[in-house]
């Protein structure tokens, strides 16, 4: 059996396979826990935000989804310090326990109908705990595996961990689909949605058992024996320019681009298909799970390829191609998913006639703002319903109106009204707009016979190829950029700032962009601009790292 010498340690290929499998399995379970929420957003919105109308409830469910991402950088700092001071293994055992407990607890939470406003408060608390745990999980697992990997195979070994995010999504979608079909849609929406969360307790027990059997990273053990562990990994990572510059390079050169590309494909595509293009949720889950499964081997392939030709050219190609292809691919997806909607938009265009000074940029990632002008209310209802529209200027102070073909519907003005007073007025406007849209030929749901599922799957696979080109080699690059003594802390922060803030807020940014422009594709500019900037930045500033000796860093 082939063996490798690593410091004073000899690792057999069988042992390496075992530790990679254990680390990857634990990470799959953590991603499963984190992604269940995004797989049943529509049901979560009804169960925990039942006091709001359908549109507002869905918005708040999206914001709670983003809340889990917002705290990931904090988890990265806390558990990064633990990992660099006390050990890689200890840190990711703690993160796993927190994640499993929080996910199980969501399955037990009372709904809005049972306890009122306490329900969403508890839900937000559990999502924050999940995000906090994920902030520490990824860095620990990646550093642990990379520090065991033999030279020349670091990309390949960490590539298995890169695939775990999609594996976790597949697991979440599979459990949701099987539970839905076993119980029926009505029972699943009423109480069966809890089952995927409760299953996490079993997964937690299995993954803890697997990871408890692992030994500490050999690089960490060597530093501990030699007394070279960092006393202040946070300060050493971010207060010294020699290290801080690589944090900026990682964030600007590939992390921000990866985040908006990956999360828009794997998560906002669900919102886009279900909410904007009116494809039934069960169909969307079926389509997505097929595309994700097909893409899984590509993470490992591109990670392996990066061991041979370098990380930078593969990642740079994925980022640049995303900037070029997102618009045509998403427009093709719309035609394949709901051609009747595209026809209705051409034959009976919708316009919002409003005083532009009363129209806000409706970006509210924490749900603190109230958009109550007649313009904001009209645009918000249309944008969250997936209806594109044109903006037409009205005289200053005029009440906003929505024109659907030849029909004009006045909006409602909410300034000066309490939430309780405004709610029925907004609900009535929502109902009038939907009735008028149906009368103008806008479908309330995609015709099952008109949904070209095969084409949508192929489009998603092309998009996922681009994502895997970036994400496959990404872990190895992060490990190779930073010194061993601060590696866990330094690499975790740019990873989770990128994923948490750039990627996690994609739904809120997309909604705000659609509301401002009236164009259901306008949010793609967010992806294109960030990807274009990252491609240019990486071309000039990102070093090639695949031949570095990480033990000497």
pLDDT (0 to 100) of residue 433: 94
* Per-residue model confidence as pLDDT tens digits over 474-519: 999 999 999 989 998 998 889 888 887 888 788 778 877 887 888 9
Do 314 and 362 share a domain, yes or no? no
In a domain, 4, yes or no: no
pLDDT-derived band at 4 (thresholds 50, 70, 90) equals: very low
pLDDT-derived band at 3 (thresholds 50, 70, 90) equals: very low
* Per-residue model confidence as pLDDT tens digits over 341-389: 888 888 899 999 999 999 987 766 555 567 789 999 999 888 878 888 9
The mean pLDDT of 44-59, rounded to a whole number, is 78
The values of phi and psi at residue 352, to 5°, are -110, 120
DSSP label at residue 178: H
Do 326 and 347 share a domain, yes or no? no
Do 210 and 316 share a domain, yes or no? yes
Element (H, E) at 425: helix 419-439
Torsion of CA 68, 72, 74, 79, to 10 degrees: 120
Is residue 253 within 8 Å of residue 543, measured between CB atoms? no
In a domain, 2, yes or no: no
Do 254 and 352 share a domain, yes or no? no
Do 405 and 470 share a domain, yes or no? no
Is the predicted pLDDT of residue 63 greater than 80, yes or no?
no
* Stronger pLDDT, 526 or 91, i.e. the higher one: 526
Q: Which of 481, 54, 552 is nearest to 252 (CA)?
A: 481
Domain finish residue from 390, 413, 439: 439
Do 165 and 313 share a domain, yes or no? yes
Q: Is 412 helix (H, G, I), strand (E, B) or coil?
A: coil
Q: What CATH number is attached to the domain comprising 76? A: 1.20.1250.20
pLDDT-derived band at 309 (thresholds 50, 70, 90) equals: very high
Is residue 306 within 8 Å of residue 472, measured between CB atoms? yes
Torsion of CA 187, 189, 190, 191, to 10 degrees: 80
* Domains held by the chain: number: 2
Region of 415 please: left (phi>0), alpha (psi -120 to 50) or beta. beta
How far apart (Å, rounded) are the C-alpha atoms in residues 553 and 549? Answer: 7
pTM for the model stands at 0.84
In a domain, 444, yes or no: no
Considering only 20-24, 125-129, 345-349, 543-547, which range has the smallest mean pLDDT? Answer: 20-24
Do 224 and 183 share a domain, yes or no? yes
pLDDT (0 to 100) of residue 109: 96
The mean pLDDT of 396-423, rounded to a whole number, is 92
In a domain, 81, yes or no: yes
Q: Which of 451, 457, 503, 480 is nearest to 549 (CA)?
A: 480
Is the predicted pLDDT of residue 51 greater than 80, yes or no?
no
pLDDT-derived band at 214 (thresholds 50, 70, 90) equals: confident
**DSSP codes joined into one string, 32-54:** HHHHHHHHTHHHHHHHH-TTS-H
The mean pLDDT of 195-213, rounded to a whole number, is 86
* Per-residue model confidence as pLDDT tens digits over 228-248: 888 889 999 899 999 999 999
Do 414 and 501 share a domain, yes or no? no
Do 297 and 373 share a domain, yes or no? no
pLDDT (0 to 100) of residue 448: 66
* Stronger pLDDT, 137 or 261, i.e. the higher one: 261
Q: Which of 200, 234, 218 is nearest to 101 (CA)?
A: 200
Do 346 and 479 share a domain, yes or no? no
pLDDT (0 to 100) of residue 55: 65
pLDDT (0 to 100) of residue 151: 84
- Compute the half-sphere exposure of residue 270: CA atoms within 13 Å on the CB side of its CA: 25
Do 319 and 270 share a domain, yes or no? yes
> Percent of the chain having pLDDT more than 70?
94
Do 305 and 248 share a domain, yes or no? yes
In a domain, 136, yes or no: yes
Q: What CATH number is attached to the domain comprising 428? A: 3.40.30
Domain finish residue from 393, 421, 439: 439
Is the predicted pLDDT of residue 5 greater than 50, yes or no?
no
The residue range of the domain holding 407 is 342-439
Domain finish residue from 417, 439, 461: 439
In a domain, 6, yes or no: no
Is the predicted pLDDT of residue 275 greater than 50, yes or no?
yes
In a domain, 551, yes or no: no
Is the predicted pLDDT of residue 251 greater than 70, yes or no?
yes
The chain-wide mean pLDDT, for the chain, equals: 87
- State the angle between helix axes of 311-337 and 524-541 in degrees (0 to 180), rounded to the nearest 10: 170
Q: In which residue are the tokens 């519907």 written?
A: 409
Instruction: Name every residue whose Cβ is closer than 8 Å to that of residue 460 and which is 6 or more positions away in sequence.
Output: 265, 269, 287, 288, 291, 333
Is the predicted pLDDT of residue 65 greater than 80, yes or no?
no
pLDDT (0 to 100) of residue 72: 85
Instruction: Name every residue whose Cβ is closer than 8 Å to that of residue 431 and which is 6 or more positions away in sequence.
Output: none
pLDDT (0 to 100) of residue 178: 92
pLDDT (0 to 100) of residue 115: 93
In a domain, 131, yes or no: yes
pLDDT (0 to 100) of residue 310: 96
pLDDT (0 to 100) of residue 49: 87
* Stronger pLDDT, 169 or 54, i.e. the higher one: 169
Is residue 265 within 8 Å of residue 527, measured between CB atoms? no
């Amino acid at each position: 059996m082939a063996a490798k010498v690593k410091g004073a340690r000899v690792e057999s290929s069988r042992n390496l396979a075992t530790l990679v499998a254990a680390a990857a399995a634990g990470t799959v379970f953590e991603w499963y826990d984190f992604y269940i929420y995004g797989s049943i957003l529509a049901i979560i919105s009804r169960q925990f935000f039942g006091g709001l109308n359908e549109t507002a409830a869905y918005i708040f469910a999206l914001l709670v989804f983003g809340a889990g991402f917002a705290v990931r950088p904090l988890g990265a700092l806390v558990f990064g310090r633990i990992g660099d001071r006390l050990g890689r293994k200890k840190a990711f055992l703690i993160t796993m326990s927190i994640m499993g407990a929080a996910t199980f607890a969501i399955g037990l939470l009372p709904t809005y109908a049972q306890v009122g406003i306490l329900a969403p408060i508890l839900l937000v608390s559990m999502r924050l705990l999940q995000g906090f745990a994920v902030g520490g999980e990824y860095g620990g697992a990646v550093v642990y595996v990379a520090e065991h990997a033999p030279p020349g195979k670091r990309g390949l070994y960490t590539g298995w961990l890169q695939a775990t995010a999609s594996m976790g999504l597949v697991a979440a979608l599979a459990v949701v689909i099987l539970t839905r079909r076993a119980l029926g849609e009505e029972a699943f929406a009423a109480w069966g949605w809890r089952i995927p969360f409760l299953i996490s307790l079993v997964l937690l027990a299995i993954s803890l058992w697997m990871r408890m059997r692992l030994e500490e990273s050999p690089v960490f053990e060597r530093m501990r024996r030699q007394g070279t562990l960092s006393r202040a990994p946070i300060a050493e990572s971010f207060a010294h320019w020699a290290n801080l510059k690589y944090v900026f390079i990682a964030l600007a050169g590939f992390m921000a681009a990866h985040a908006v590309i990956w999360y828009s494909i794997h998560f906002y595509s669900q919102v886009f298909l279900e909410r904007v293009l009116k494809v039934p949720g069960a169909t969307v889950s079926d389509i997505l799970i097929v595309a994700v499964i097909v893409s899984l081997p590509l993470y490992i392939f591109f990670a392996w390829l990066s061991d041979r030709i370098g990380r930078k050219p593969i990642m740079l190609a994925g980022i640049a191609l995303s900037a070029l292809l997102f618009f045509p691919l998403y427009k093709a997806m719309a035609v394949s998913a709901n051609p009747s909607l595209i026809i209705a938009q051409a034959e009976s265009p919708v316009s919002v006639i409003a005083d532009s000074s009363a129209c806000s940029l409706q970006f509210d990632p924490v749900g603190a703002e109230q958009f109550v002008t007649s313009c904001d209310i009209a645009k918000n209802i249309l944008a969250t319903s997936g209806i594109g529209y044109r903006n037409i200027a009205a005289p200053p102070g005029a009440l906003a109106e929505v024109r659907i073909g030849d029909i004009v519907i006045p909006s409602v003005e909410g300034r000066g009204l309490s939430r309780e007073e405004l709610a029925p007025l907004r609900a009535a406007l929502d109902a009038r707009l939907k009735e008028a849209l149906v009368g103008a030929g806008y479908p309330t749901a995609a015709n099952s016979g008109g949904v070209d599922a095969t084409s949508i799957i192929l489009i998603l696979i092309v998009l996922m190829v681009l994502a895997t080109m970036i994400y496959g080699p990404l872990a190895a690059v992060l490990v190779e950029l930073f010194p061993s003594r601060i590696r866990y802390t330094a690499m975790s922060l740019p990873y989770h700032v990128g994923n948490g803030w750039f990627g996690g807020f994609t739904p809120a940014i997309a909604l705000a962009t659609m509301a401002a422009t009236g164009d259901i594709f306008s949010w793609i500019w967010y992806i294109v601009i960030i990807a274009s900037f990252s491609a240019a930045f990486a071309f000039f500033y990102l070093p090639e790292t695949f031949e570095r000796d990480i033990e000497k860093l």
